[in-house]
Amino acid sequence: MIKTYNAYLDIETTGLNPVSSYITVVGILLENDYEEHFYQLIGPEITAYNIMILLEKAHTLYTYNGSRFDLPFIKEKLGLDLEEYIYHQDLMYSCWKRGLYGGLKRIEQKLGITRKLKNIDGRMAVILWNHYIEYGDIYALSLLLEYNREDVINLKILKEKLLPLNL
């Protein structure tokens, strides 16, 4: 099979420790020169099989701090070591090489990458998930999904801004 897509991945979780927390949302954008497809796995849809199906045509996986958070979390919770199957580029380290330090939101601000949901962060993502689970709050879930979508889409924009600088 020819792998023709770039993939961008971001996860939302109930906490920072994969031993005591779990993954709530996995967002994946697949893109090539001709098309883009965005996917989100939610709650019980988050399985190693479903992630691998989505990434099977991808040649490079882009994350931000994925080497230290997203990929280890996925490995711990799902037993899936994505770096065994796909080349991984952590854009955080590409930023560091250019003197850009901080979390994704801070880097976005420095590079002029905009967000619609300016007041939502990882802590608020946990609260939104809990509201959805405890109260069936569909609005909270929709905000969480939009937050995750912005994270993933902005990974692509970040890569494009770094690309002229030779990642």
- DSSP secondary structure, 112-158, as one string: T---S-TT--HHHHHHHHHHHHHH--HHHHHHHHHHHHHHHHHHHHH
| DSSP letter (8 states) at residue 82 | G
pLDDT tens digits in sequence order for the chain, 167 residues long: 677 899 999 999 999 898 899 999 999 999 998 999 999 999 999 999 999 999 999 999 999 999 999 999 999 999 999 999 999 999 999 999 999 999 999 998 999 999 998 889 889 999 999 999 999 999 999 999 999 999 999 999 999 998 765 54
Q: Are 138 and 132 in contact (CB under 8 A)?
A: yes
Q: How far is CA 48 from the centre of its chain?
A: 15
All domains in the chain, ordered by first residue? 5-160 (3.30.420.10)
Question: Which residues make Cβ contacts (< 8 Å) with residue 53, sequence separation at least 6?
Answer: none
- Distance separating alpha carbons of residues 1 and 3, to the nearest angstrom: 6
Q: Where are the beta strands (DSSP E) in 21-138?
A: 23-31, 36-42, 58-63, 87-90
| DSSP letter (8 states) at residue 83 | G
46, 117, 124 from 121: Cα distances, Å: 21, 9, 5
Residue 119 has a pLDDT of 86
Residue 56 has a pLDDT of 95
Q: Are 78 and 47 in contact (CB under 8 A)?
A: yes
Give pTM, 2 decimals: 0.94
Residue 163 has a pLDDT of 76
C-alpha torsion angle, residues 53, 56, 57, 63 (rounded to 10): 100
To which residue do tokens 């996995």 refer?
26
Question: Which residues make Cβ contacts (< 8 Å) with residue 16, sequence separation at least 6?
Answer: 69
Residue 1 has a pLDDT of 62
